[in-house]
Every structure is written in structure tokens, then in C-alpha cells.
């Protein structure tokens, strides 16, 4: 596999940057030409950010799985597509070649068809990090069904909300999942969700942990039995459904500033082109390299840089079922050593957590295969950046700090490994075809360097969000109306003297906890479900490992009784309603919340208090009752 669009020198980078701004359509048409299209597009780009209405490669026809699988069979059939490392290092790993993967995807696509899944139907996938998760994703794409992967850490209630929003009638899950020393009963969580979702017709269950499950007659089916059925049917093929470039490929739910997660919709053509382009260029993937992205496929990073980007590029993608700290804090380095990993793409929170174990677990492994290190999910602090660079990369591996979002589909701002310079704590420069701008609160573009502002993008790129599922107006309001004419990211940003971008964090009510996006309103809603809670306000505060921690101020009805038990009850409620990832780190009981005369909670003040900044609270003149603040300050945890 060669990549005609791979940038190999700083000069080629210059050329690409210029061409992509002067002639974006010509630029992307050229990139797109090296993919497999059943019919070439009629027009490269039609767009209007106001409605918004964005079409890339309109009239083009393709199937992304033919690009990920079929077109590689000739040259890469026997090459590993997925290497799977199980949670338990004692269990056998698996190597799945492109031929194997093609076969499995075709088989499972036929299983879906046998169960009456049709093009455009929504299929919810709630599985652990097993190869069959990638198979299920690709099988949906094969037949044109829209997958909605839900991270295995979400609760039954979160699943039910997402099933309802997408009206998903089909589910693919596992009996259970292994994560470190824990076993998660996935099917049982699904069963709880389905009490509220009677419209679900079929649940296909893969065996992984053999934890006991309840299988409901007529609804629940074993993956293995369904595969046997298609095997006896004889026809091993499943021709790829020919999709329009703009047909939806998947929905992925993500948190915003409201209480309800949004179903971000990505389309087939543009997403394919952009994830592959960014994968090959940012990581400088070379044929034969082993790419290890430590994310879960339940997040966008896993969609784009474990499954679609690498597979479209004919790469070898390493999929890891476990966690960085089990059975010990050397697990990542063990995996790197075992498979001679060349590219390691991980998150600052994982790095910070591993840093705290010292160099013992690092130095007992051979990391000399590493060529490129990558970071994603949240700002990487300079200390973590240096640690990664020195102790993991031994000063020889470029570190790419990749800024992007669920909504952007692929990496937007990042250095390119070995091609453009890095700068610790800076994502640095936009990729070719990406046009970032900083705007002030009035929506006016801030020109020049050494400036800060709200990060917007002023021109479409192929994998931009197309809509929020079932509610296009919400997409417009969320991303395209704050600063008319621009896509607004929700992030604050600084641009240095050389034009490098440094993302400073969210400017809306979205938290980033261990690289996971969580809306403060979502957590508040969950806390308020608890019977004893009258009102709550949630803010983020700096956390050494998680990046941000969740701080909840709660007005509680019965202040008698054990406060710690009440805290645990509230925490349990949040885990039930959202999932364990949203459990508050701190819960402070208060008798009042700081409000303006019009009744709005002054989060700015709470944020300051949670950060430990109790002296300088800024302007408090609009406060209804200043005494409230004093009380909260005195009770700070």
C-alpha cells in the first residue's frame, strides 16, 4: 500500500498547506481519488454553515468496508489487520489478517441481514474491546446500517436514552467484559435498559466471559449460533451495500452543555477520506508499522484511529482489551515490547497515572521499536509531555499532540511526526485543509499572533459533523449559531508568535475527566434524581491525574445522619444514571447556592472555590446573598 497523499518532507507540507487553502476542492478531490469509489462524485463540496448543510463528494458512491477490507485482499490478505491483546496477559492473543477480517465481517453482515437489519437501520453496539466489536462495526457499514457504539462504562439508563433517541431496534453485545480485575456484566446492563425499550427486536450476544446471562426467547440470540446458521447457508459472500457519500455511517453520542447527550452523525465518504488522510500523515504510518491506539472503540478516537483510519490505510491496528495498570503499571510497555509497537497513541490521563509509578515498570521493557508517540483527549501538561518524550520515546520519537473532537471526526490540529516541529503543550498547526480562527466573544475574528480567543473553524473539512441525530436544529444551535459563519468548537485557545495553537480547555459547561467529555448539566440532573437532593451545582477543578475532577455542591434535605453515607448514595445515583465515569470526586453539602437576583447559579464563583481560589472570587456584586459564599468557602473539601 502506498499513500500518494502522504506528506514526506517539510517542503511537501508547505505545498499541501498552500494548495489546501487556495484550492480546497482540488486538494481534497486529489486525496479522495486514491480511494475505491463505485461512482465518482459529481461535486467535491457544497456547503452552507448557516443551516448547516455540508456535502462532500456528493453523487459519489462507495462502501467504506471495501476500502478497509476488499481492496487490500490482493496485496495485504495475509498481513495482520488487527492484533488483539487480551485483558489477561496469560490468555492467548489473536492475529486477524485482512483476509480473516474480511471473512468475519462478511459473515456477521449476513447475520445482521438474516435478522432483518436493513440499510439505514440503527444498530447499537455495546461490547468490550474484543475483535468482534470491530467486526460488528464493519458489518453494519457493510450493509449500510448505522452503528451507534456505546462505551461499556455507560449505565442502563444512558443506554436506554440513546436507544430511544436513535430508535435503534437492534443490539449487539457481549455476555460480559473484562477490564483489569473487574468483570462487567454487559448483557445484564442491556437487559435493564430494555425494560424501557420495548421496540428493540433483536439482541445478539457474543460469548466472552461466560458470566450467566438471561436470554429472552424470540429476542436474544447467541452470536456463535447465528454465525453457524450463515455458515450452513453456504453463500459466504455479502456484497457491500453501495452507499452515497453523504449517507450516514454512524452515530456517536457525546456530551454538550445541556443535560442530554447529542448523537453526532458522520457520513461515509468524507469521514473515510479524512480519517485515512490524517492517520497516514500525522503518525507518518509506514507499511508494516504496528499502530497501538489505547482508546476504547466506544469513543471517537477508537472509531477513527483503531478501526476506520488504520484499516483504510491497510495498517496493522493493535487492539487492547485491558487497562494500563493491570496486572501492573508496566502493561502498556509490556504490550509495546511484545508486539514491537511502532506508534503509540494514548491519553494524558494514562501517562500521568503511569508516571506516578516511577520508571521501574518502564525500564524492564524494550521500547526500542517505538517511532512515534501521540496524545489525545485533553491538554497535555508539559511535565507529562516531557516524561513521555524522555522515558518512553528516549528523546528519539516525535510526540504528536493531536487536538480534535467527536464532531470533527479526525485530527484537526497537530504536528506531523518528524515533518513539522513539536512544542510541548501545543497542538501546534492545523492539518492541511483545516482553517482555524480565534474569535472574541462578539464573534469577531482575532487576527495576529500572541492572542487568545474562542476556537472556531471557518471552512468545512471532509469529516465535519453533518447533523445531530433526529434534531438538525440542535446541531445548528450548538455548533453554528454562537458565532455565525463559523463552526464553534467549545474550546478556548491561544496562538503563539509562530502561529502555533495551544488549546486551553472548554469555555462551555463541559468537563473533561480523564479525557472523557461530561456535561455539568448531565451530572446535576443525575444528582438531582437522588431522593434527598434539593438542588445541585457541578463544576470542574484541576485534578493531578484525571485532568479535571468533578466537584458537586449539593443542597440536601436531611442533613442529619451520616454525611459520608449520603455522599456514597449520591455517587451511586450518578453511576446508575450515567455511569461510573461521571461519579463526583467531591461532594460538598451546602445550605444554599450562590445565585444572582434573577436566580442564576454563579458557577464562576463555585469554580473558583472548587479550584481552591478562595481569596479572589472576582465580581460578586450581582450576588443575591453574599453570606452564601462565605458559608461555602468555610465548608470547602
Q: How far apart are CA 401 and CA 476, in angstroms?
A: 29
CA dihedral 213, 214, 219, 224 (to 10 degrees): 30
Q: How far apart are CA 123 and CA 148, in angstroms?
A: 6
Nearest CA to 111 among 130, 128, 132?
Answer: 132
Write down the least CB distance from residue 293 to ligand 7RM, Å. Answer: 11
Q: CB within 8 A of 591, min separation 6: which ones?
A: 555, 631
The 93-112 contact track toward ligand 7RM, x by CB under 6 A, reads --------------------
For ligand 7RM, give the closer residue by CB, 353 or 425.
425
Write down the least CB distance from residue 411 to ligand 7RM, Å. Answer: 8
Burial class from Cβ neighbours inside 10 Å (0-12, 13-18, 19+) for residue 325 reads: middle
> Can residue 506 be called a binding residue for ligand 7RM (CB under 6 A)?
yes
For ligand 7RM, give the closer residue by CB, 316 or 402.
402
For ligand 7RM, give the closer residue by CB, 344 or 376.
376
For ligand 7RM, give the closer residue by CB, 131 or 490.
490
Q: How far apart are CA 377 and CA 105, in angstroms?
A: 29
Nearest CA to 55 among 464, 416, 577?
Answer: 464
Contacts with ligand 7RM by CB under 6 A: the residue count is 22
Write down the least CB distance from residue 127 to ligand 7RM, Å. Answer: 19
Write down the least CB distance from residue 505 to ligand 7RM, Å. Answer: 6
Write down the least CB distance from residue 9 to ligand 7RM, Å. Answer: 24
Burial 570-607, CB ≥16 within 10 A → b, else e:
bbebbbbbbbebbbbbebbbbeebbbeeeeebbbebbb
For ligand 7RM, give the closer residue by CB, 291 or 517.
517
3-state secondary structure at position 15: helix
For ligand 7RM, give the closer residue by CB, 462 or 490.
490
Write down the least CB distance from residue 405 to ligand 7RM, Å. Answer: 4
Burial 383-414, CB ≥16 within 10 A → b, else e:
ebbebbbebbbeeebbbbbbbbbbbbbbbbbb
Nearest CA to 140 among 167, 117, 163?
Answer: 117
The 513-542 contact track toward ligand 7RM, x by CB under 6 A, reads ----x-------------------------
For ligand 7RM, give the closer residue by CB, 139 or 456.
456
Write down the least CB distance from residue 479 to ligand 7RM, Å. Answer: 11
For ligand 7RM, give the closer residue by CB, 102 or 506.
506
Q: Are 147 and 141 in contact (CB under 8 A)?
A: yes
For ligand 7RM, give the closer residue by CB, 491 or 522.
491
For ligand 7RM, give the closer residue by CB, 361 or 515.
515
**Site residues (CB under 6 A) for ligand 7RM, limited to 323-352:** none
For ligand 7RM, give the closer residue by CB, 186 or 427.
427
Write down the least CB distance from residue 549 to ligand 7RM, Å. Answer: 16
Write down the least CB distance from residue 455 to ligand 7RM, Å. Answer: 8
Q: CB within 8 A of 78, min separation 6: which ones?
A: 97, 98, 99
Write down the least CB distance from residue 396 to ligand 7RM, Å. Answer: 22
> Can residue 72 be called a binding residue for ligand 7RM (CB under 6 A)?
no
How far separated are the first and last CA of the chain, in Å rounded? 56
Write down the least CB distance from residue 347 to ligand 7RM, Å. Answer: 8
Write down the least CB distance from residue 254 to ligand 7RM, Å. Answer: 5
Write down the least CB distance from residue 462 to ligand 7RM, Å. Answer: 17
**Within 13 Å and on the Cβ side, how many CA atoms surround 57?**
33
Q: How far apart are CA 13 and CA 433, in angstroms?
A: 12
> Can residue 24 be called a binding residue for ligand 7RM (CB under 6 A)?
no
Q: Maximum Cα–Cα distance for the chain, whole Å?
A: 77
For ligand 7RM, give the closer residue by CB, 296 or 378.
378
Q: Which of 278, 428, 489, 548 lies at the binding interface for ligand 7RM (CB under 6 A)? A: 489
For ligand 7RM, give the closer residue by CB, 403 or 487.
403
Q: Are 89 and 168 in contact (CB under 8 A)?
A: no
Write down the least CB distance from residue 355 to ligand 7RM, Å. Answer: 18
> Can residue 372 be called a binding residue for ligand 7RM (CB under 6 A)?
no
User: Do strands 177-179 and 290-293 pair parallel, antiparallel, or not at all (unpaired)?
Assistant: unpaired
**Within 13 Å and on the Cβ side, how many CA atoms surround 469?**
30
**Site residues (CB under 6 A) for ligand 7RM, limited to 373-412:** 376-379, 401-406
The 418-447 contact track toward ligand 7RM, x by CB under 6 A, reads ---------x--------------------
Burial class from Cβ neighbours inside 10 Å (0-12, 13-18, 19+) for residue 99 reads: middle
Q: Are 614 and 633 in contact (CB under 8 A)?
A: yes
The 274-313 contact track toward ligand 7RM, x by CB under 6 A, reads -------------------------xxx------------
For ligand 7RM, give the closer residue by CB, 57 or 461.
461
For ligand 7RM, give the closer residue by CB, 295 or 538.
295
Write down the least CB distance from residue 636 to ligand 7RM, Å. Answer: 26
For ligand 7RM, give the closer residue by CB, 174 or 582.
582
The 211-240 contact track toward ligand 7RM, x by CB under 6 A, reads ------------------------------
User: Do strands 586-590 and 547-556 pair parallel, antiparallel, or not at all (unpaired)?
Assistant: parallel
- Give whole-number Cα distances, 505 to 80, 413, 427, in Å: 38, 14, 12
> Can residue 491 be called a binding residue for ligand 7RM (CB under 6 A)?
yes
CA dihedral 420, 425, 429, 430 (to 10 degrees): 130
- By CB under 6 A, which span of 177-185, 268-276, 487-495, 624-632 interacts with ligand 7RM? 487-495
Q: How far apart are CA 458 and CA 444, in angstroms?
A: 12
Q: How far apart are CA 204 and CA 126, in angstroms?
A: 10
Write down the least CB distance from residue 582 to ligand 7RM, Å. Answer: 14
Binding stretches for ligand 7RM (CB under 6 A): 254, 299-301, 376-379, 401-406, 427, 489-491, 503, 506, 512, 517
Amino acid at each position: 500500500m502506498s499513500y500518494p497523499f502522504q506528506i514526506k518532507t517539510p517542503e511537501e507540507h508547505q505545498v499541501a498547506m498552500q494548495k489546501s487553502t487556495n484550492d480546497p476542492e482540488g486538494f481534497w478531490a486529489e486525496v479522495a481519488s486514491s480511494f475505491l469509489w463505485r461512482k465518482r462524485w459529481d461535486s467535491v463540496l457544497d456547503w452552507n454553515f448557516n443551516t448547516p448543510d455540508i456535502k462532500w463528494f456528493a453523487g459519489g458512491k462507495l462502501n467504506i468496508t471495501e476500502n478497509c477490507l476488499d481492496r487490500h485482499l490482493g496485496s495485504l490478505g495475509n498481513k495482520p489487520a488487527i492484533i488483539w491483546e487480551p485483558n489477561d496477559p496469560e490468555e492467548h492473543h489473536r492475529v486477524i489478517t485482512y483476509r480473516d477480517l474480511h471473512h468475519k465481517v462478511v459473515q456477521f453482515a449476513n447475520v445482521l441481514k438474516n435478522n432483518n437489519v436493513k440499510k439505514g437501520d440503527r444498530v447499537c453496539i455495546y461490547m468490550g474491546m474484543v475483535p468482534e466489536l470491530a467486526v460488528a462495526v464493519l458489518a453494519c457499514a457493510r450493509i449500510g446500517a448505522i452503528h451507534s457504539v456505546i462505551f461499556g462504562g455507560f449505565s442502563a439508563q444512558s443506554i436506554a436514552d440513546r436507544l430511544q433517541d436513535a430508535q435503534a431496534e437492534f443490539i449487539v453485545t457481549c455476555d460480559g467484559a473484562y477490564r483489569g480485575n473487574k468483570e462487567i456484566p454487559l448483557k445484564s446492563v442491556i437487559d435493564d435498559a430494555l425494560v424501557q425499550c420495548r421496540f428493540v427486536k433483536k439482541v445478539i450476544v457474543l460469548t466472552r466471559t461466560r458470566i450467566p446471562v438471561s436470554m429472552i426467547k424470540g429476542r436474544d440470540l447467541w452470536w456463535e449460533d447465528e454465525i453457524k446458521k450463515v455458515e450452513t447457508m453456504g453463500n459466504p459472500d455479502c456484497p457491500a451495500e453501495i452507499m452515497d457519500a453523504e449517507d450516514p455511517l454512524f452515530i456517536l453520542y457525546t456530551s454538550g452543555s445541556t443535560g442530554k447527550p447529542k448523537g453526532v452523525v458522520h457520513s461515509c465518504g468524507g469521514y473515510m477520506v479524512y480519517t485515512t488522510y490524517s492517520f497516514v500523515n500525522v503518525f507518518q504510518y509506514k507499511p508494516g508499522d504496528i499502530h497501538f491506539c489505547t482508546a476504547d472503540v466506544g469513543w471517537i478516537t477508537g472509531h477513527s484511529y483503531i478501526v476506520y483510519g488504520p484499516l483504510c490505510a491497510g495498517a496493522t491496528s493493535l487492539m487492547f482489551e485491558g487497562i494500563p495498570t493491570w496486572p501492573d503499571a508496566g502493561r502498556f510497555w509490556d504490550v509495546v515490547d511484545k508486539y514491537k509497537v511502532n506508534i503509540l497513541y494514548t491519553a494524558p490521563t494514562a501517562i500521568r497515572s503511569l508516571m506516578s509509578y516511577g520508571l521501574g515498570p518502564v525500564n524492564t521493557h524494550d521500547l526500542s521499536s517505538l517511532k512515534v508517540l501521540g496524545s489525545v483527549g485533553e491538554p497535555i501538561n508539559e511535565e507529562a509531555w516531557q516524561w513521555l518524550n524522555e522515558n518512553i520515546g528516549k528523546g528519539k520519537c516525535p510526540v504528536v499532540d493531536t487536538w480534535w473532537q467527536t464532531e470533527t471526526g479526525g485530527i484537526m490540529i497537530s504536528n506531523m511526526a518528524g515533518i513539522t516541529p513539536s512544542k510541548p503543550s501545543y497542538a501546534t498547526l492545523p492539518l492541511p485543509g483545516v482553517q482555524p480562527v480565534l474569535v472574541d466573544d462578539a464573534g469577531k475574528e482575532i487576527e495576529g499572533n500572541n492572542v487568545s480567543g474562542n476556537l472556531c473553524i471557518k471552512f468545512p473539512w471532509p469529516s465535519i459533523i453533518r447533523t445531530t441525530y433526529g434534531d438538525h436544529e440542535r446541531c445548528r444551535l450548538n455548533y453554528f449559531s454562537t458565532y455565525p459563519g463559523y463552526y464553534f468548537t467549545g474550546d478556548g485557545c491561544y496562538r503563539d508568535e509562530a502561529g502555533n495553537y495551544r488549546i486551553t480547555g472548554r469555555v462551555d459547561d463541559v468537563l473533561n475527566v480523564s479525557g472523557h467529555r461530561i456535561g455539568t448539566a448531565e451530572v446535576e440532573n443525575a444528582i438531582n434524581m437522588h431522593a434527598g437532593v434539593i438542588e445541585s451545582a457541578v463544576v470542574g477543578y484541576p485534578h493531578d491525574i484525571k485532568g479535571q475532577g468533578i466537584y458537586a455542591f449539593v443542597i440536601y434535605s436531611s442533613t442529619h445522619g451520616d454525611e459520608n453515607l449520603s455522599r456514597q448514595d449520591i455517587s451511586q445515583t450518578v453511576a446508575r444514571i450515567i455511569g461510573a465515569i461521571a461519579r463526583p470526586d467531591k461532594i460538598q453539602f451546602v445550605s444554599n447556592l450562590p445565585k444572582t437576583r434573577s436566580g442564576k447559579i454563579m458557577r464562576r464563583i463555585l469554580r473558583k472555590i472548587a479550584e481552591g481560589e478562595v481569596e479572589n472570587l472576582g465580581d460578586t456584586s450581582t450576588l443575591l446573598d453574599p453570606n452564601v459564599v462565605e458559608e461555602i468557602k468555610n465548608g470547602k473539601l
